[in-house]
Every structure is written in C-alpha cells, then in structure tokens.
Amino acid sequence: MARQATIYHNPACGTSRNVLAALREAGIEPTIVEYLKTPPDRATLETLLKTMGKSVRDILRKRGTPYEELGLGDPAVTDDEIFVAIAKHPVLIERPIVVLDKKAALCRPAETVRDLLG
C-alpha cells in the first residue's frame, strides 16, 4: 500500500528540498504544500502541532522573518497572538513539516525525516 505523505515545503529552502528528495528516494511522492503561497489555516496547524506533540512556539522560525520585530520571543505573547502573526506572516512557520501516515515532524535538520520513514 502506498504511504500517504504531505510536506509543507519552501522550494527556496535547501533543507526543505533535501527532505523532499529523501521522501522521493524512499518511493514516496508526497502532496506538496507550498505554505508561503497557500498557508495552512489555524485548525490545520493545531492538528499538525497535536500530532507532533509540539506547541506553536516550537515551530516558529526566527531567522529571516519578522519574529524579532513582532516581539514573539516575549513569554507574555499568547498562543492566540502567535497564530494571528503566523496567519499574517506564514514565513514564521519553520520548515519543512512532513506528515507521513499518521505521524508528523518538523524535519529540521533534514535527517529527522528518517525517523518518520522508519
């Protein structure tokens, strides 16, 4: 049976490209979501986070994003405020996130995808 996979992908990101290549090398052709063009909605993000066992802060990208200027490192910033910031600036989502079968992981570093491929 073919394995079902989705990658939240940024083609400009080397790590994201490497993870996509690893999936393909394993014989898996994932659904590719270019999240900067079609960002996941809050419900989708919450499902991904629950599956990964992570909080919304765990998937925040700091480098090359408005993370600092939005003050998202402040512990007083609520999860709701972070979700609003992500909706406005999807670049704040760290990449790539891969969903494979019933598991999900933030595959950074790229080798993390091996745990999902198991």
Q: Catalytic amino acids? A: 13
Q: In Å, how far from its chain's centre is CA 38?
A: 13
Q: What b/e sequence results for 57-67 when a residue is b if at least 16 CB atoms lie within 10 Å of its CB, and e otherwise? A: eebbbeeebeb
The rounded distance, in Å, linking the Cα atoms of 102 and 115 is 13
Write the CA distances from 110 to 80, 90, 96, 97, integer angstroms: 29, 20, 8, 10
